[in-house]
Amino acid sequence: MKKILSLLLLFPLYLAAQQKTGGEIKNIIVITSDGLRWQEIFKGMDPALANNRRFNQGDSAGIYKQYWADSPEERRKKLMPFFWNVIAAKGQLYGNRSFDNKVDNANPYWFSYPGYNEIFTGYPDTAVNSNEYMPNPHVTVLEYINQQPAFKGKVAAFGAWEAFDRIFNKERCGFPVTAAYSPTGGAHPTDREQLINAMLKDSYKPFGNDECLDVFTHYEAMEHLRQRKPRVLFIGYGETDEWAHGGRYKDYLNTIKQVDEWIKDIWTYVQSNPEYKDKTAILITCDHGRGDTVKEQWTGHGSKHITDSHEIWIAAMGPGLPAKGELKTPMQLYQKQIAQTIASLLGLHYKANHPVADAIKEIKEK
Do 180 and 209 form a contact (C-beta atoms < 8 A)?
yes
340 falls within a domain: yes
184 falls within a domain: yes
17 falls within a domain: no
18 falls within a domain: no
244 falls within a domain: yes
Total of domains in the chain: 1
> Distance between CA 297 and CA 309 in Å, rounded?
9
Dihedral in degrees, nearest 10, Cα atoms 8, 10, 15, 17: 180
| CA nearest neighbour of 210 among 175, 232, 179, 243 | 179
> Which alpha helices (H) appear in 85-204, and where do they start and end?
88-90, 112-121, 141-146, 164-167, 170-173, 191-202
pLDDT digits (tens, 9 = 90+) for 186-201: 999 999 999 999 999 9
Residue 74's domain comprises: 25-363
- Predicted confidence at residue 14, as pLDDT, reads 44
As a whole number, mean pLDDT of residues 10-14 equals 47
Band of residue 23 on the pLDDT scale cut at 50, 70, 90 = confident
> Which one-letter amino acid corresponds to residue 363?
I
- Predicted confidence at residue 19, as pLDDT, reads 42
- The CATH number of residue 77's host domain is 3.40.720.10
Q: What is the mean pLDDT of the chain?
A: 95
Under DSSP, is residue 206 helix (H, G, I), strand (E, B) or coil? coil
303 falls within a domain: yes
277 falls within a domain: yes
> Distance between CA 189 and CA 71 in Å, rounded?
47
Whether pLDDT at 7 is above 80: no
Cross-strand bridge partners of residue 333: 103
Whether pLDDT at 16 is above 90: no
As a whole number, mean pLDDT of residues 310-337 equals 99
Cross-strand bridge partners of residue 28: 232, 281
pLDDT digits (tens, 9 = 90+) for 229-249: 999 999 999 999 999 999 999
pLDDT digits (tens, 9 = 90+) for 69-119: 999 999 999 999 999 999 999 999 999 999 999 999 999 999 999 999 999
49 falls within a domain: yes
| CA nearest neighbour of 236 among 212, 217, 261 | 217
Inter-CA distances, 89 with 6, 84, 325, Å: 37, 7, 6
How many CA within 13 A on the CB side of residue 294?
10
